[in-house]
């Protein structure tokens, strides 16, 4: 990592007054309206005339909308969050054109995230007091940790979750985030459900199963919500918030646990090797979907990668088709079949006994070393009848006899 300071978001909970809550709720509604109008204008221009509408075009449209009688209410809220939502729409289209995401969708009042982004011209931060544009009083923020000294926030994002809690996120440059001293430690990490993580050292990080602990409470709250008729306004909203609060507590505990685990792993190891798991496809298994979602492998990987970038560590990702569980870490032989319920197995070639997850972590470590040192591919060689290779195979597959992976596996086990 270079000498440039890391931009880091500091998120705090705050308690708005009734007037502030009304103002912010109105801002959220205007943001959704402007976003949907701009998306509709882009859709119509492309479908009818084959033209692309730019950010500058939508910004000019926003000015015209504010002068119409129908949309005059857009003048009642701060202008910056409305401009920022147009920038977010432009970013969404760029991601779509680069094939990194799907086509932008319209924002829904019930499902979309309620948030508003303010740049420096739309807020005042002074002496620990944050005041947003169009507001006279500062926000009542619970400062659970200090901000970096002498560094003013560059942007402020206000949000409200489905449980009705209010949060403010301040983006600051954090000079204290620096690369850690280099270390020779390298670890392979196998994600699982019995244990959340299994390390190549043999350590198993337990899976707290946060959702399972509250599953009975979630079921009761869901039944109460189901009994409320759609037109049963206040009672249905209270039942919905009660269910959302339980989900929020589960998510908070899960996120806190993952932060603790990822921070420790990044501090202790120079190189971390993980598998490129396709969680989106894995949750299609109806028997395991709830457990996989509760494990939150995607969030674990995201945290690991950005913290490694902060502290000068390296995350190596190996191919998802690499047979980490079925390969013997002692001799490199592949097991014919290894069902998920088999937790301990014995290699038929060398008679070595393996814990399924520890063996997988050791193979992941060896594969990561091979990728780092040789740049080799770790996708397995799959031979089909007639000598043809699998269609899912990459250009440079691993072969049992000539791949450096096997040497690293043997050295890791010795």
Instruction: Specify whether 130 is located in the same domain as 164.
Output: yes
Task: Indicate whether 78 belongs to any domain.
Answer: yes
Distance CA 31, CA 178 (A): 37
Q: In this predicted model, what pLDDT tens digit does every residue of 364-390 receive, in sequence order?
A: 999 888 877 665 554 444 443 333 333
Structural domain range at position 82: 6-174
Residue that is last in its domain, among 147, 174, 201 = 174
Question: Do 197 and 313 fall into the same domain?
Answer: yes
Please give the pLDDT value at position 168.
97
**Residues 41 and 58: beta-carbon distance below 8 Å:** yes
| Domain edge (last residue) among 317, 343, 368 | 317
Do 330 and 398 lie in one domain? The reply is: yes
Mark which of 272, 287, 317 sits at the end of a domain: 317
Whether the CA torsion 149, 155, 156, 159 is positive or negative: it is negative
Same domain, 105 and 151: yes
Q: Contacts by 374-377 with C-beta closer than 8 Å and gap 24+?
A: 374/404, 376/403, 376/404, 376/405, 377/319
Where do the H-state alpha helices sit in 50-166? 55-66, 79-97
Residues 24 and 109 in one domain: yes
**pLDDT value at residue 374:** 63
* Residue 132 is assigned to a structural domain of this protein: yes
Q: How much is the pLDDT for 224?
A: 93
Would you name the residues annotated as active-site residues?
190, 275, 357
Our count of domains for the chain comes to 3
- Residue 400's pLDDT is 34
- Give the pLDDT of residue 395: 32
Q: Are residues 104 and 60 in the same domain?
A: yes
Beta strand pairing call for 6-14 and 166-174: antiparallel
Residues 128 and 140 in one domain: yes
For residues 154 and 48, state if they share a domain.
yes
- Give the per-residue pLDDT at 158: 97
Q: Rounded distance, CA 33 to CA 45, Å? A: 18
Same domain, 328 and 388: yes
Residues of the chain with pLDDT under 50: 1-2, 378-414
Burial of 251 (0-12, 13-18, 19+ CB in 10 A): middle
Q: What is the pLDDT of residues 122-177, one digit of tens each?
A: 999 998 899 999 999 999 999 999 998 888 899 999 999 999 999 999 999 988 88
| Residues belonging to the chain | 414
């Amino acid at each position: 990592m270079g000498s440039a300071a890391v931009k880091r978001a500091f998120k705090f909970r705050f308690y708005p007054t009734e007037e502030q809550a009304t103002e912010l709720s109105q801002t959220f509604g205007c943001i959704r309206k402007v976003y949907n109008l701009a998306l509709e204008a882009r859709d119509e221009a492309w479908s009818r005339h084959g033209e692309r509408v730019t950010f500058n075009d939508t910004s000019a449209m926003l000015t015209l909308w504010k002068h119409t009688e129908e949309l005059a209410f857009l003048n009642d809220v701060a202008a910056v969050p409305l401009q920022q939502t147009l920038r977010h729409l432009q970013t969404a289209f760029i991601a779509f054109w680069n094939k990194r995401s799907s086509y932008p969708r319209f924002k829904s009042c019930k499902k979309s995230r309620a948030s508003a982004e303010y740049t420096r011209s739309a807020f005042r931060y002074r002496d620990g007091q944050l005041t947003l544009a169009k507001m006279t009083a500062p926000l009542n923020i619970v400062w659970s940790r200090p901000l970096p000294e002498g560094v003013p926030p560059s942007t402020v994002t206000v949000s409200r979750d489905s449980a009705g809690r209010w949060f403010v996120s301040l983006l600051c440059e954090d000079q204290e985030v620096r690369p850690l001293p280099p270390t020779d430690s390298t670890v392979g990490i196998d994600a699982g459900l019995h244990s959340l993580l299994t390390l190549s050292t043999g350590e198993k990080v337990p899976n707290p199963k946060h959702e399972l602990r509250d599953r009975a409470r979630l079921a009761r709250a869901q039944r109460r919500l189901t009994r409320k008729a759609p037109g049963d306004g206040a009672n249905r909203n209270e039942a919905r918030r009660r269910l959302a609060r339980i989900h929020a507590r589960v998510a908070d505990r899960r996120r806190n646990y993952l932060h603790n685990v990822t921070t420790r792993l990044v501090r202790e190891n120079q190189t971390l090797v993980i598998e490129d798991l396709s969680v989106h496809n894995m949750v299609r298994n109806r028997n395991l979907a709830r457990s996989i979602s509760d494990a939150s492998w995607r969030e674990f990987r995201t945290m690991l990668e950005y913290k490694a970038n902060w502290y000068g560590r390296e995350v190596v990702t190996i191919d998802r088709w690499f047979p980490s569980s079925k390969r013997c870490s002692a001799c490199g032989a592949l097991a014919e079949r290894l069902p998920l319920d088999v937790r301990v197995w014995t290699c038929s070639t060398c008679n070595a006994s393996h814990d399924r997850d520890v063996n997988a972590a050791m193979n992941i470590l060896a594969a990561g070393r091979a990728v780092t040192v040789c740049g080799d591919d770790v996708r397995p060689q799959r031979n089909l009848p007639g000598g043809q290779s699998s269609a899912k195979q990459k250009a440079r597959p691993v072969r049992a006899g000539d791949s450096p992976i096997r040497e690293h596996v043997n050295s890791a086990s010795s």
